[in-house]
Amino acid sequence: MTDTPTPPAADLHHTILTIDTHIDIPWPDRNDFATGAPSRRVDLPRMRAGGLGAACLVAYVGQGACDAAGHAAASDRALAMLRVIADTGQIPGVRVCDTVEGVRAAHAAGDIVIIPAVENGYTIGENLSLIAAFRKLGARYMTLTHNGHNRLADSARPMQHLQDPESIHGGLSALGRDAVAEMNRLGMLVDVSHTARSTMMQAVELSRAPVFASHSCVRALCDHPRNLDDTQLDALKACGGVIHITAMDAFLRPRDVRDTRAVTVADFVDHIDYAVQRIGIEHVGISSDFDGGGGIRGWANAAESGNLTAELLRRGYDRDQIAALWGENFLRIMKQAEEVADTIA
For the chain, 345 residues long, the average pLDDT of each consecutive 10-residue run is: 59 96 97 97 98 98 98 98 98 98 98 98 98 98 98 97 96 98 98 98 98 98 98 98 98 98 98 98 98 98 97 96 98 98 91
SS3 191: strand
Q: One-letter amino acid identity for 200?
A: M
Indicate yes or no: pTM above 0.85.
yes
d(CA 239, CA 244) in angstroms, rounded, equals: 15
Please provide residue 6's backbone torsions phi and psi, each rounded to the nearest 5 degrees: -90, 130
d(CA 278, CA 273) in angstroms, rounded, equals: 9
pLDDT for residue 7: 66
Report which secondary-structure segment, H or E, holds 339: helix 329-344
Q: Note whether 249 and 241 are within 8 A (CB).
A: no
Q: Note whether 146 and 95 are within 8 A (CB).
A: no
**Among 193, 179, 228, 225, CA closest to 60:** 193
d(CA 273, CA 244) in angstroms, rounded, equals: 12
pLDDT for residue 141: 99
pLDDT for residue 2: 39
- CB count within 10 Å of CB 72 equals 12
Between the alpha carbon of residue 224 and those of residues 68, 228, 286, the distances in Å are 32, 9, 18
d(CA 5, CA 15) in angstroms, rounded, equals: 14
Q: How many residues does the chain have?
A: 345
Residues 6+ away with beta carbon under 8 Å from 117: 22, 56, 57, 58, 59, 139, 140, 141, 142, 143, 191, 214
Please provide residue 142's backbone torsions phi and psi, each rounded to the nearest 5 degrees: -135, 130
Q: One-letter amino acid identity for 255?
A: R
- Which residues are 54's β-sheet partners? 19, 113
**Among 207, 194, 202, CA closest to 150:** 194
Residue 116: asked if its preceding bond is cis (omega within 30°), the reply is no
Report which secondary-structure segment, H or E, holds 87: helix 68-87
Q: Note whether 14 and 51 are within 8 A (CB).
A: yes
SS3 78: helix
Sign of CA dihedral 248, 251, 256, 257: negative
Burial of 11 (0-12, 13-18, 19+ CB in 10 A): exposed
Q: Which residues of 255-292 are buried (b: 16+ CB within 10 A; e: fewer)?
A: eeeeeeeebbbebbbbbbbbbbebbebbbbbbbbbbbb
